[in-house]
Amino acid sequence: MTPLKQMPAWKALEAHAATLRVKHLRELFAEDPKRGERFNAEACGLFLDYSKHRITEETLKLFAGLAQASGLEERRAAMFRGDKINITENRAVLHTALRAPREAVIEVDGHNVVPDVHAVLDKMAEFAESIRSGAWTGYTGKPIRNVINIGIGGSDLGPVMAYEALRHYSQRDLTMRFVSNVDGSDFAEAVHGLDPEETLFIVSSKTFTTLETMTNAHTARVWALAKLKEHAAVARHFVAVSTNAKEVAKFGIDTANMFGFWDWVGGRYSMDAAIGLSSMIAIGAENFRRMLNGFHAMDEHFRSAPLERNLPFLMGMLTVWYTSFFGAETVAVLPYDNYLKRFPAYLQQLTMESNGKHITLDGQHVDYQTCPIFWGEPGTNGQHSFYQLIHQGTRLIPCDFIGFARSLNPLGNHHDLLMSNIFAQSEALAFGKTPEQVKAEGTADWLVPHRTFEGNRPSSVILAEKMTPEILGQLVALYEHSVFVQGVIWQIDSFDQWGVELGKVLAVRIIPELESPTEPELRHDSSTNALIRRYRRMKSRA
Ligand code: F6P
């Protein structure tokens, strides 16, 4: 593989970037007044305006050139085909199979996985409907009223995000809660006020060995059995979502109540696998299928749309563009929809666990930046908090604004007020306010620099008609595939996560040192040793 920076296509983009770094978006709009009507693309139910980016038609051609030189289309085909593109774990990457229609054929090692996917979906649907209808009762015969998902990372962030995003579609007499942190307070607050007789725990863990999840699951069992007494009650109050039947059985959960998935589904790509069981219970099987249809529609768009109209491609390349050629270190994701309040947190794992890597597929250290830091909050709240820095700070922060034409809760003129802010913010970021404009308003000379907005801050605006299960699926798949595009260009394996291992191993070594009744012999560095000693002293004083 030719190293990225030695590719002529990369060098061409680098030379081109030099001409655009000194151009203001005001100039780009002045030179091409209709760019706002042309630099946009639409797919399924999503409209993307990318005209307020520091690009020209030439940039798009060079993006396509780099994609071609990087073998993007072949890599994309390899992913959809089920090739083992996760090379460090020797695994296929087939989250797209999770939303493939029943009649599709996708093979891993000669085995068509689509019937397996649909068998699990059908089993989930049957179970979800039995909880929703009250047909599934707890051990003492009471219907389940509370559902608690225990999981972390991909086994938590997707379910939480989807539940919040689609809460409007949820069955309101079911209480849905989520426990992820090994901090006991997370568990204690999640079960606060709940009756074990009416509570179902979904233990969600791909590996079923994750320390946080297993600790919480054991605590949940103790909590439930304190009231239910009989061990046989576990079967009515605990189900598992995992790829590891052996560990599930060891925990005491009947494997008949296990919902499986496969090693070709990465944790952060699993919210539409059985990991979505809590979502399905909340919104029902029909709405869950609508969400999968949304994912699938975006998959098909990514697979078949020409690059210049391909949303994930455009968004992925824009992230590469600012990260690699403009020194941008972060991307802000700013949903103007309260239901999407956990979307930025969800995207943090999706983007940064996927592309936060510094070793190429060839095993070389990269000599360029890879994944930027993704962050964000619902938009209008952010405006009264960190937007100051986006407008007048010293860093370039490309922004993704996400908004809807219609509110699910139309109240007076709330929605127009909300949406006016998206349009105003992207306009202000791009065009700013010149010193001349500020002066013309009668501002005192000394105050003019403070009140000037330089502008030239790029943003995308993503619009959809209203928040639906389909649209949520499309949005998530849009970012999944954008992450894929970035990973291909940066020549990294977007589907492993070795960077999380060392901390886990060290924590396991440290646990007995914290718990030992006698002073342990510590063999860490002097800082870690001193911290452990101080923690032990503070703990014993308390
Ligand atoms: O912390 C890393 C990680 O492996 C994530 O990739 C994953 O989503 C999370 O832990 C949870 O893993 P599991 O589902 O196996 O409990």
Residue range 54-108, pLDDT digits in tens: 999 999 999 999 999 999 999 999 999 999 999 999 999 999 999 999 999 999 9
Q: Is 100 in the pocket of ligand 1 (CB under 6 A)?
A: no
Which of 384, 436, 501, 521 is catalytic? The answer is 384
Q: Which residue, judged by its Cα, is nearest atom 3 of ligand 1?
A: 153
Look at residue 542 in the predicted model and tell me its pLDDT: 72
Q: Is 267 in the pocket of ligand 1 (CB under 6 A)?
A: yes
Query: Tokens representing 190?
Result: 């999640």
Which of 164, 353, 480, 513 is catalytic? The answer is 353
440, 445, 449, 455 alpha-carbon torsion, rounded to 10°: 10
CA of 122 to the centre of ligand 1 (A): 25
Catalytic: 353?
yes
Q: Is 469 in the pocket of ligand 1 (CB under 6 A)?
A: no
Q: Is 180 in the pocket of ligand 1 (CB under 6 A)?
A: no
Cβ(515)–Cβ(536) below 8 Å: no
Ligand 1: which of 86, 95, 210 to mutate, most ligand atoms within 8 Å of CB?
210
Q: Is 154 in the pocket of ligand 1 (CB under 6 A)?
A: yes
Residue type, 447: L
Look at residue 100 in the predicted model and tell me its pLDDT: 98
What is the greatest pairwise CA distance in the chain? 79
Q: Where are the alpha helices (DSSP H) in 276-366?
A: 277-283, 285-304, 311-325, 343-348, 354-355
Residue 399: CA atoms inside 13 Å, Cβ hemisphere, count?
32
CA of 277 to the centre of ligand 1 (A): 17
Query: Tokens representing 12?
Result: 């061409």
Query: Tokens representing 450?
Result: 């403070």
Cβ(474)–Cβ(414) below 8 Å: no
CA of 153 to the centre of ligand 1 (A): 5
Instruction: Write out the H or E segment, with its range, that includes residue 242.
Output: strand 238-242
Q: Is 207 in the pocket of ligand 1 (CB under 6 A)?
A: yes
Look at residue 541 in the predicted model and tell me its pLDDT: 87
Q: Is 360 in the pocket of ligand 1 (CB under 6 A)?
A: no
Q: Where are the alpha helices (DSSP H) in 137-254?
A: 157-165, 184-191, 211-228, 234-237, 245-251
Catalytic: 129?
no
How far is residue 265's CA from residue 243's CA, in Å, rounded to a whole number? 10
Spans of the chain below 70 pLDDT: none
How far is residue 447's CA from residue 445's CA, in Å, rounded to a whole number? 5
Question: Which atom of ligand 1 is nearest to 152's Cα?
Answer: 11
Question: Which atom of ligand 1 is nearest to 210's Cα?
Answer: 16
Within 8 A by CB and 6+ apart from 40, the residues are 47, 48, 49, 50, 51
Ligand 1: which of 269, 347, 500 to mutate, most ligand atoms within 8 Å of CB?
500
Cβ(524)–Cβ(506) below 8 Å: no
Tell me phi and psi for residue 333, to 5 degrees: -110, 120
CA of 437 to the centre of ligand 1 (A): 52
How far is residue 183's CA from residue 247's CA, in Å, rounded to a whole number? 23
How far is residue 493's CA from residue 361's CA, in Å, rounded to a whole number? 6
Ligand 1: which of 152, 263, 496 to mutate, most ligand atoms within 8 Å of CB?
152
Identify the CA nearest to 87 among candidates 1, 207, 6: 1
Within 8 A by CB and 6+ apart from 220, the residues are 148, 150, 179, 187, 191, 201, 203, 238
Question: Which atom of ligand 1 is nearest to 155's Cα?
Answer: 14
Sheet with strand 146-150: strands edge to edge: 175-179, 146-150, 199-204, 238-242, 258-260
**pTM score above 0.95:** yes
3-state class (DSSP) for residue 326: coil
Look at residue 18 in the predicted model and tell me its pLDDT: 98
Catalytic: 37?
no
Look at residue 188 in the predicted model and tell me its pLDDT: 98
